[in-house]
């Protein structure tokens, strides 16, 4: 099986990533005169829309209700939960004027929406009988990121931010919601062929205002990890802060329990990064805006070229009527080779080549974008063969991605082994951990890594903590991160 090259993709990942966003016309970044903000271009937006449609489907079928809250949050509201406002204070954008008038209270551009949503839940919900409620919105949130901004990966306007917020009558109910959220994310990332590890973030790194945070991380082609989704059990922190009490099952009054969970533009960044190769995007067929592109190959004789074009039009309508998102590239001013280059960069999963041989033989030649494999089949089998190829590509992409991730998670038992693994392979190292923060901090300082947290679900570790020698209770994961 011929495989497409991935040298540049691997060795100059961030240069490749910037190149492909432009070459495949995904996202125009760096030219917009506000740092950390970019423009979704038409093709990129089609990919984004298919990704958010998938997310909406998974949320709607698990009892979530889509809502839309105001962008501006008054400062007193954002400040209600002290941990939360402390955690976000150096990231919040503020609106201070309306026209020439100074506002009597400054307004935050939402960095996330726990505060307005809890405020409204306290107006909408009075009794446990109304619970659970699961809301979500897909909006822009704004964070004045001080670390290096990068297109889609670390932006200041997070324009594809899906935030879900749920409210429950008990801690146990909130705990089962955390599990449901994790399952929704598993299905979501699995459908996109994105592999992940799930960790419970260490307490010193949890979401501001949460009891604890569960995170989905993946390893990018350059070996650094990217946090692609998070689930938080918020306990009663926000409901207490907003004096939001409900009538409980035992006829008393108490504060309800909440969770929140989010994904963002990073999902599209990961989709591009994980499956790409030196020629550009490689898209899983389910979310590819165009799944098959037909390229007519002209010949010397006018007559033959006309036949090829006519036959290609027939193939196009056959594919379209079978539900395949197909396109015919019949541009006259472009050579077949340039067309291959153009559509390969856009990651179209299947190319259908049609020359005089196919036109006269009533066949089509199908080329896979991921492995470049070619096969010629009779027109009567084209639809079946192309749909089977889509399944083969989806299976190949997730398998290749999962193997890459597995190859970049190293379980070690000494600091030397850890240093070797992180410096040579990058990715994630799993170190037996005694449970004390100072041992984790020592590893972070020694190896210039950050902690990702401990395996979720919990996993007992063998051996002893390589820093203090005490018995390990679980593994602590470390990586170099975006």
Ligand X SMILES: Nc1ncnc2c1ncn2[C@@H]1O[C@H](COS(=O)(=O)NC(=O)[C@@H](N)CS)[C@@H](O)[C@H]1O
Alpha-carbon distance 217 to 196, whole Å? 5
Task: Provide the 3-class DSSP secondary structure of residue 259.
Answer: strand
Within residues 266-295, the interface with ligand X by CB under 6 A covers 266
Of 43, 6, 30, 1, whose CA–CA distance to 404 is shortest?
6
* Among positions 81, 112, 282, 461, the unique one binding ligand X when judged by CB under 6 A: 112
Query: Considering beta carbons, is residue 36 or 455 the nearer one to Zn ion?
Result: 455
Q: What is the CA radius of gyration of the chain?
A: 26
The answer to whether residue 109 forms part of the interface with Zn ion (CB under 5 A) is no
Which residue's beta carbon is nearest to the bound ligand X?
Answer: 262
Residues contacting 64, CB < 8 A, separation 6+: 134, 135, 136, 164, 166
Which listed residue (218, 227, 233, 290) binds ligand X by CB under 6 A?
Answer: 227
Residue identified by tokens 């809890």 is 118
Q: Which does 228 bind (CB under 5 to 8 A by kind): ligand X, Zn ion, none?
A: ligand X
198 in contact with ligand X (CB under 6 A): no
155 binds ligand X (CB under 6 A): yes
Cα 428 → chain centroid: 18
Element (H, E) at 160: strand 157-168
Q: 229 contacts which partner out of ligand X, Zn ion, none, CB within 5 to 8 A by kind? A: ligand X
Q: Which is nearer to ligand X, 155 or 412 (CB)?
A: 155
CB-based contacts of 375, cutoff 8 Å, min separation 6? 365, 366, 385
Which of 467, 474, 475, 482 binds Zn ion (CB under 5 A)? It is: 467
Decide which of Zn ion, ligand X, none touches 112; Cβ closer than 5 to 8 Å per partner kind.
Answer: ligand X
Which C-beta is closer to ligand X: that of 217 or that of 370? 217
Q: Residue 233 belongs to what H/E stretch?
A: strand 225-235
Q: From the list ligand X, Zn ion, none, which binds 468 (C-beta under 5 to 8 Å, kind-based)? A: Zn ion
Per DSSP, 213 falls in state E
Token pair of 8 as six digits: 């540049």
Residues 366-425 that bind Zn ion (CB under 5 A): none
| Interface with ligand X in residues 121-150 (CB under 6 A) | 143, 145
Given 465, 475, 476, 477, the residue binding Zn ion (CB under 5 A) = 465
Q: Which lies closer to ligand X via its Cβ, residue 268 or residue 288?
A: 268
Query: Does residue number 212 form part of the binding site for ligand X (CB under 6 A)?
Result: no
Would residue 309 be called left, alpha or beta, if left means φ above 0 and alpha means ψ between -120 and 50 degrees? alpha
CB of 156 to ligand X, least distance (A): 7
H or E, element range at 142: strand 133-142
230 binds ligand X, rule: CB under 6 A: yes
Does residue 91 touch ligand X according to CB under 6 A?
no
Candidates 44, 132, 151, 262: give the one binding ligand X (CB under 6 A): 262
Backbone angles phi, psi at 80, to 5 degrees: -60, -40
* Structure token pair of residue 369: 């974008």
Going residue by residue from 421 to 460, which x/- string records binding to Zn ion, judged by CB under 5 A? -------------x----x---------------------
Q: CA 83 → CA 200, 229, 423, distances in Å?
A: 19, 21, 35
By CB under 6 A, residue 163 contacts ligand X: yes
At residue 183, the 3 state secondary structure works out as helix
Tokens of 187: 């299905």
Please report, as ranges, the residues that interact with Zn ion according to CB under 5 A. Answer: 434, 439, 465, 467-468
Please report, as ranges, the residues that interact with ligand X according to CB under 6 A. Answer: 112, 114, 143, 145, 154-155, 158, 163, 207, 227-230, 232, 260-266
């Amino acid at each position: 099986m011929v495989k497409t090259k991935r040298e540049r993709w691997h060795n100059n990942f961030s240069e490749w990533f910037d190149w492909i966003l432009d070459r495949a016309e995904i996202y125009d970044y760096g030219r917009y005169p506000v740092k950390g903000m970019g423009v979704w271009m038409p093709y990129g937006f089609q990919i984004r829309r298919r990704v958010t449609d998938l997310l909406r489907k998974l949320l709607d079928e698990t009892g979530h209700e889509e809502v839309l809250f105001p962008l501006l949050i008054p400062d007193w509201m954002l400040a209600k939960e002290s941990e939360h406002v402390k955690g976000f204070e150096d990231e919040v954008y503020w609106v201070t004027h309306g026209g020439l008038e100074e506002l009597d209270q400054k307004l935050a551009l939402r960095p996330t929406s726990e505060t307005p949503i809890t405020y409204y839940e306290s107006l909408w919900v009075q009794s446990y009988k109304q619970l659970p409620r699961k809301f979500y919105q897909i909006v822009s949130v704004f964070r004045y990121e001080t670390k290096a901004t990068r297109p889609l990966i670390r932006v200041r306007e997070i324009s594809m931010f899906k935030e879900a917020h749920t409210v429950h009558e008990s801690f146990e109910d909130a705990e089962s919601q955390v599990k449901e959220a994790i399952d929704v994310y598993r299905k979501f990332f699995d459908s996109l062929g994105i592999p992940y590890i799930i960790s419970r973030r260490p307490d010193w790194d949890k979401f501001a205002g949460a009891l604890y945070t569960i995170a989905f991380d993946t390893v990018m082609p350059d070996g650094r990890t990217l946090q692609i989704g998070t689930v938080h059990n918020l306990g009663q922190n926000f409901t207490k802060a907003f004096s939001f009490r409900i009538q409980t099952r035992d006829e008393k009054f108490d504060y309800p329990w909440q969770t929140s969970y989010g994904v963002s533009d990073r999902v599209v960044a990961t989709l591009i990064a994980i499956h790409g190769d030196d020629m550009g995007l490689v898209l899983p067929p389910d979310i590819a805006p165009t799944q098959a592109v037909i390229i007519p190959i002209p010949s010397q004789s006018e007559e033959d070229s006309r036949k090829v074009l006519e036959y290609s039009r027939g193939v196009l309508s056959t594919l379209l009527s079978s539900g395949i998102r197909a396109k015919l590239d019949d541009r006259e001013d472009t050579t077949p080779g340039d067309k291959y280059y153009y559509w390969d960069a856009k990651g179209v999963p299947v190319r259908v080549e049609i020359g005089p041989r196919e036109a006269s033989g009533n066949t089509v030649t199908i080329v896979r974008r991921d492995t470049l494999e070619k096969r010629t089949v009779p027109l009567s089998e084209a639809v079946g063969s192309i749909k089977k190829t889509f399944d083969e590509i989806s299976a190949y992409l997730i398998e290749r991605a999962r193997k890459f991730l597995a190859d970049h998670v190293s379980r070690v038992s000494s600091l030397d082994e850890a240093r070797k693994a992180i410096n040579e392979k990058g990715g994630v190292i799993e170190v037996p951990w005694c449970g004390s923060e100072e041992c984790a901090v020592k590893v972070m300082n020694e190896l210039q890594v950050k902690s990702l947290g401990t395996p979720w679900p919990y996993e007992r570790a063998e051996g002893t903590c390589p820093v203090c020698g005490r018995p390990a209770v679980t593994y602590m994961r470390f990586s170099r991160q975006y």
